[in-house]
Structure 1
Amino acid sequence: MIPVRHRLGGWRWPPTDAGYLGGACLALAVAALCVESYPVIAGLIGAVAGGGMILATVRLHAAERRATDLCVGAGLPRMRLAQTLPRLADLLASVDHRTSRRHPVTGLPTREILLSAIAAEGGSTARGHLLGLIRLVDFDRLAAFDHAAANQALLSFSDRLVLAVDAAHLLVQVDRDAFAIWFRADASAAGAEFGAIIYVIAQDLEIGSLTLSPVVEAGSARHDDGGEPVHLLMRAIAALSRSDTAVGEALPPATPSPREARERFRLEQDLAQAIARDELTMVFQPIVDLAAGKVVGAEALIRWQHPELGAISPAVFIPIVEEAGLSERYGMWTLNAACREARCWADEGLSDLRVAVNLSARQLLDDQLVLKIERTLSRHGLPASALELELTETAAMVQTARTVDLFRRLSMLGVRLAIDDFGSGYSSLSYLKNLPFNKLKIDREFVTAVQDRRDSQAICKALIELGRGLGLVVLAEGVEDEAEVATLHALGCTIFQGYHFSRPLEGADFRRFVRTPAWRAPRAGPAPGRTAHLEGRLSA
């Protein structure tokens, strides 16, 4: 079948020139034509018969374009019509072939042009050149509730790409939300240029009343001598897919209604703006050491006060961070804000405190993460030992080789490492013992009402013994009353975090809390011989 996809506007077949009678009745055999979704061939045939454009589209069987497939009324010459329709179909098929090589929204060349260009250059000419791919992550979410706005965003984004890409290179659109750049330059130079392009195109877009902060993902592949163009494209797509890999995420939620999708998308954009404009706030929940009788640090937690909606719960905006591709921006904002506060602690003589920052599973995919952390510490004049990074047990089990390498590099840097929510996942102990982390945080599920649950007491006791055997600091999170603290303290825990000691505090309030602690030790002392430490946190 020949797919025909082109609207010819208000074109009318001139009946007198064609020799046909205006208003003649034309019936089409089902064997020859089948109705589709675009207004093309049927409109032409209606015009041939002297009527108006028929708003329907057909697909014409190439092997069935015979006069016997058409029933013509009002005396129309069967042979003349049989000669005309094949010519029309051939003409439109030719137009379809040409225009299919341009994207209907942006007008950019499509992948056929890209593959042809790479093949034509071939050999030693293209060896070492780079193919870069860029995907506009926001497109599908925006299209879910406003297709026109999505197309406008796509057009504006492509216009920005056209301005950013040197005319010596080839810019094409390989999918509805993905673009490719064929850099006609050495891969090393092209890589630097590709990075600059990504930075430029990621600036805000104004789409009507909506300010869109584009989330883009990129991947690239180097052309090898003799490699097939399609294989090069597949390698670049694979690189793009790796950058988009979701790690440790739950199953996607049910499809939202258009209204819910619109509200969700606007919340995503507001959150992106809040990150960019430094409108989030950070609070600090104290970590106390009962044995030493002092505060030893705090966990940094994020709060978002929306200008219209008020306080947005972390349970709402943290999933948005992951799903909207904001993990890198959010993670770096968090790291920078935490280090800025730790610098204040040091300046006020509290340099023995350590700030704990949560590391997302997506951040494990960033090959530059260690370098970014090192630069952030240097910018704030902090030793690496002032920072502790927390990764959940489940996330730590994903990308095993990558996680081990990342933890070892961070450990060599001097950053402290913690496994959070321990006991909630299914870690292999043989794997965990190979990770160079320093702290184990018991999941609050086992801490809550531990004084009344013998199973939780047994689990906590085992985890404390495990931590002591591995030479780790063990940490119980989310303690909310004295009974919980006393029970865990009797099992050998001396370091705690939770509402029993303090809610999360703003920076100035936290520093006052450190100097004049309002917490007190439980009545029960630690069991003899217990030396493991427990800390806890409240993540909400």
Structure 2
Amino acid sequence: MVSIWQGAMQVFVVGFPPLLQSLLFWVFAALVVHVCQQLVEHTAYSVDPSSRRISASHAALCIGSIVWALDVVGLFMYAELSHHVLKLVPALSGLVIMVVSARLTIPTLSTSASKRRIALTSAWLALGALAGHFTITSSHVQSFAQINGLAIVLSLGIATGISCYCAIRHRAAKLSVLTPRYRSQTWADKLLCGGAILVLHWLLVNTFAMHLGDFDGATDGTALLFIVLVFAMAVALEHLSNLRSDAGRQQLLRRGLSMMRTSAVAPNAHSDIQQSLIADHLDRLLHPDNLALHFQPIIHTQRNELQLEALLRLTDTTLGRINPETFLLVCELQGKTAEVDRMILCNALDNLHTWRTQGLDAVTISVNVAPVTLMHESFAPWLGLQLAQRALPPRALKLEMTEHAIIALGPQMVAAIRALSTLGVAVLMDDFGAGYSSLGMLAELPIAGIKCDRLFVRQLPQDRRRQKLLRHISALARDLGLSVVVEGVETPDELRALAAAGLHHIQGYLFSHPIAAPDVPTWYHTQLQPQREALLALLPPTGNGRASDTDTSFMPTQPGLPWAPGA
């Protein structure tokens, strides 16, 4: 072992760089790590595949270029090599190798959720960096046959460790948004990596026997050093300056897509990171067992009707509780909307089929779907088949879409809604009043009803203008043959104001919170009637359509059986 160590040390003929040069290189290397981190983070925070691909391409070009510049600058630290000519072909070939290796590995290092994949990809990135270095310095090598085994093993280990450490710390920085168990990467981490790069560079120049001393045809190394530094700084600054613009472009894209669904998620850096994490784990999340549903009742205060709106609930072992709106936006950006909507619909229909075997024959459900799902030419036939397989009548299902989507997509959406109407499935306009609210379109759209946004209910008891507006909406809907549901009813005063306006379909916490799907039958048989009676008790005794004390139309016809189907 001693002889092996001594033999290896004899090949370390290029001395460690002087203190001043080492410190400068250390600082430069730490800055390079910082820039690389910013670029990788930007790639990781992209959500849709196109943005991720473009960001990865830009990041790879920049990272490969500045790492190449760092490698070339490092050659000027050593007195034994500072006067050697840097030949153009090997130098540019090394640049190409570093850029290509970064392009092949950055997508995985920035988005993979598997530590094993990160480690393997880090090893490939390290091999690419070493291959690029040896290509750059090929004109300096005296003999490739004389190899310092210790130096090359240590170099590979350090290079792999640096890339793997940075990638895992980057993953921890993303996860720190969700849990304090993780912490973001700090300048101490970057300085540690910079020091490791300094040692790595010294090991690399000692891997093969090098030409030492003056080299024939030597050129002014100061000019070359200045050119390389300017090149590295220009590339880094250009890409860093573009990050904010690209982030703004992606936020505009997400904001536009979020209008197609109900979304109260404000775009900010925190939500961007959450979306990127969901995108990283989307393949695992997109499974029917993970798409749990809760159902919030929609009650009519005058008729025997009960409708349940399906609401998505997701919890992941790594990501914790996931905001459904954020999850659905990520699916939209990833092109998975139709897939997840169909999974949710199947889950909802399975629950409805199970409830009907338990006596809930009068219950109907509503499910929110995206435009891309509804407008697909195969959707209506597919939905008809799903209903038939479960022996469910089409009228038992209603589909909800935001007014943004229905109105913005025009004739295509109208044709899709008519196809569903022919099937027997009604389509409701959700969040009416939160966007365009084009009254002229109501006469042309083949929708079955509207759901008024919570915006109408806000301060309703004190706001006479809102009260008048709701009375007009009620009259207009009645003339057009549309049902009206008011969302977000939370106080008795709001309930009474709605009843005075002639609106009796309500949904909100005043009547019931969302209920987990397995608990719906128990709630139906034991809590529905008491909650309904408590709700009716809040209304005035006259002029509101309240059921009389002898009215039993809402009671089960026999113990344990559901109340009769509504009129």
TM-score category by the smaller chain?
Answer: 0.5 to 0.7
Unmatched 5+ stretches in structure 2: 1-64, 125-166, 172-252, 546-567
Q: Does 1:438 align with 2:448?
A: yes
| Cα distance in structure 2, aligned partners of 1:309 and 1:466 | 46
Change (3 A) 1:395 1:52: farther
1:316 Cα shift?
A: 4.9
Instruction: Report the residue type matching 2:293 in the other structure.
Output: M
Give the Cα separation in 2 of the matches to 1:325 and 1:141. 20
Ranges in structure 1 where 5+ consecutive residues have no aligned partner = 1-35, 55-72, 74-80, 108-135, 156-206, 211-241, 529-540
The amino acid across from 1:517 in the alignment is Q
Question: How far off is 1:476 after superposition?
Answer: 1.0
Secondary structure at the aligned position of 2:417 is classed as helix
Give the match for residue 371 of structure 1.
381
Q: Does 1:406 align with 2:423?
A: no
Asked whether the 8 Å contact 2:288–2:343 carries over to 1, the reply is: no
Structure 1 counterpart of 2:359, from 349, 367, 376: 349
Asked if the contact 1:289/1:496 (under 8 Å) is kept, the reply is yes
Mapped partners of 1:401, 1:289: distance in 2: 32
Letter in 1 for 2:501: L
How far off is 1:51 after superposition?
A: 8.5
Answering whether residue 407 of structure 2 is matched by residue 397 of structure 1, we say yes
Aligned to 2:349: 339
- Quick one: structure 1 residues 481 and 399, their matched pair in 2 at CA, closer, same or farther if it must change by over 3 Å? same
CA 1:38–1:298 in 2, change beyond 3 Å: closer, same or farther? closer
3-state SS of 1:448 partner? coil
Change in CA separation of 1:513 and 1:337 when aligned onto 2, cut-off 3 Å: same
Matches of 1:486 and 1:295, distance apart in 2: 19
- Which whole-Å deviations, capped at 9, do the CAs of 1:339-361 have from their partners, x for residues lacking one? 01111232233333211001124
Residue matched to 1:282: 293
Structure 2 CA distance for aligned equivalents of residues 475 and 150 of structure 1: 54
Identity of aligned residues (%): 26
Is residue 314–residue 322 contact of structure 2 (8 Å, CA) maintained in 1? yes
The answer (yes or no) to whether the contact 1:419–1:440 under 8 Å persists in 2 is: yes
- Indicate the residue corresponding to 1:16 in structure 2: none
Q: 2:369 is matched with which residue? A: 359
Q: How many Å apart are 1:412 and its aligned residue?
A: 1.2
Q: State the partner residue of 2:466.
A: 456
Distance 1:39 1:268 in 2: 31
Q: What is the aligned counterpart of 1:142 among 100, 107, 111?
A: 111
1:490 & 1:287 partners in 2: Cα distance? 19
What is the CA distance between 1:290 and its match in structure 2?
A: 1.8
Question: Structure 1 residues 497 and 246 mapped into 2: Cα distance closer, same or farther (>3 Å)?
Answer: closer
Structural mapping, 1:254-333, within 5 Å:
254-255=268-269, 261=273, 265-270=276-281, 272-276=283-287, 278-292=289-303, 294-307=304-317, 310-314=320-324, 316-333=326-343
Structure with the larger strand share: 1
Q: Which residue of 2 aligns with 1:523?
A: 540
Deviations 1:369-390 (A, max 9, x none): 3333233223322222111000
- 1:478 alignment partner AA: G
User: What are the equivalent positions in structure 2 for 1:169-180 lying under 5 Å apart?
Assistant: none
Q: Distance in 2 between the 1:478 and 1:470 partners? A: 24
Distance 1:248 1:52, change over 3 A: farther
Structure number having the greater helix percentage: 2
Whole-Å separation in 1 of the counterparts to 2:381 and 2:81: 63
- Quick one: distance in 2 between partners of 1:142 and 1:309? 14
- Deviation string 1:205-264 (CA, Å, 9 cap, x unpaired) is xx9999xxxxxxxxxxxxxxxxxxxxxxxxxxxxxxx9xx9463689944569xx84x65
What CA deviation, in whole Å up to 9, does each residue of 1:107-132 have, x standing for no partner? 8xxxxxxxxxxxxxxxxxxxxxxxxx
* Conserved? CA contact 2:288–2:347, under 8 Å: no
Report the alpha carbon displacement of residue 331 of structure 1 after superposing the two structures with TM.
1.3
SS in 2 for 1:486: helix
Is 1:467 the equivalent of 2:477?
Answer: yes
- After superposition, the C-alpha distances for 1:106-158 in whole angstroms (9 at most, x for unaligned) are 88xxxxxxxxxxxxxxxxxxxxxxxxxxxx9x8797299x9x959949x9xxx
Secondary structure of 2:359's counterpart equals coil
Q: CA deviation at 1:428?
A: 2.5
Which residue in 2 is equivalent to 1:224? none
Q: Does 1:476 align with 2:486?
A: yes
Task: Give the counterpart letter for 2:462 in structure 1.
Answer: D
- 1:248-259 aligned at under 5 Å gives the runs 248=259, 253-255=267-269
Q: 1:384 is matched with which residue? A: 394
Q: Is 2:111–2:280's contact at 8 Å kept on the other side of the alignment?
A: no
Opposite residue 341 of structure 1, the aligned amino acid is N
Q: Deviations over 1:10-41 (max 9, x none)?
A: xxxxxxxxxxxxxxxxxxxxxxxxxx74749x
Distance between the aligned counterparts of 2:381 and 2:345, measured in 1?
Answer: 13
**Is the CA contact 1:354–1:386 (under 8 Å) kept in the aligned structure 2?**
yes
Secondary structure in structure 2 of the residue aligned to 1:286: strand
Q: Secondary structure of 2:286's partner?
A: helix
CA distance in 2, matches of 1:91, 1:279: 53
How far does residue 451 in structure 1 lie from its aligned partner after superposition?
1.8
Verify the 8 A CA contact 2:460 2:497 in the aligned structure 1.
yes
Deviation at 1:367, TM superposition (A): 4.3
Determine the C-alpha separation between the residues in 2 that align with 1:346 and 1:323: 36
Distance 1:359 1:527 in 2: 34
Distance change >3 Å, CA 53–CA 466, structure 1 → 2: farther
Alpha-carbon separation, structure 2, partners of 1:332 and 1:449: 37
Tell me if structure 2 keeps the 8 A contact 1:422–1:443: yes
Contact 2:305 2:362 survives alignment (8 Å): no
Question: Which amino acid in 2 is paired with 1:357?
Answer: V
- CA gap 1:434/1:255 in 2 versus in 1, 3 angstroms: same
Count of residues paired in the alignment: 350
2:503 to 453, 475, 493: 493
Structure 1 equivalent of residue 3 of structure 2 = none
Q: CA deviation at 1:430?
A: 2.6
Any conservation in 1 of the 2:489–2:495 contact (CA below 8 Å)? yes
Aligned counterparts, 1:112-261, within 5 A: 142=111, 149=118, 152=121, 246=257, 248=259, 253-255=267-269, 261=273
- 1:503 Cα deviation (Å)? 1.2
Q: Give the secondary structure class of the aligned counterpart of 2:456.
A: helix
Quick one: distance in 2 between partners of 1:405 and 1:331?
A: 20
Cα distance in 2, alignment partners of residues 384 and 513 from structure 1:
24
- Partner of 2:57 in structure 1? none
Provide the TM-score with structure 2 as the length reference.
0.50
State the match for 2:248 in structure 1.
none
For the residue of structure 1 that corresponds to 2:430, the secondary structure is: strand
2:300 counterpart letter in structure 1: D
How far off its partner does 1:417 sit? 0.8
Q: Secondary structure at the match of 1:382?
A: coil
- Asked if the contact 2:456/2:466 (under 8 Å) is kept, the reply is yes
Residue 267 of structure 1 deviates from its aligned partner by 3.9
Q: Partners in 2 of 1:53 and 1:405 — Cα distance?
A: 74
The structure 1 residue matched to 2:428, chosen from 418, 428, 436, is 418
Amino acid at match of 1:523: P
For 1:106 and 1:437, locate their aligned partners in 2 and report how far apart those are by CA, in whole Å: 49
Q: How far has the Cα of 1:513 moved from its partner?
A: 3.5
Distance 2:109 2:341 in 1: 24
How far apart are residue 527 of structure 1 and its match? Answer: 6.5
2-structure distance, mates of 1:420, 1:526: 29
For 1:30, the equivalent position in structure 2 comes to none
Q: Determine helix, strand or coil for the equivalent of 2:290.
A: coil
* Alpha-carbon offset, residue 315 of structure 1: 5.2
Q: Contact conserved, 2:108 with 2:118, CA < 8 A, in 1?
A: no
In structure 2, what is the Cα distance between the partners aligned to 1:53 and 1:264? 49
Question: Per the alignment, do residues 420 and 39 of structure 1 end up closer, same or farther by CA in structure 2, a change over 3 Å counting?
Answer: closer
For the residue of structure 2 that corresponds to 1:278, the secondary structure is helix
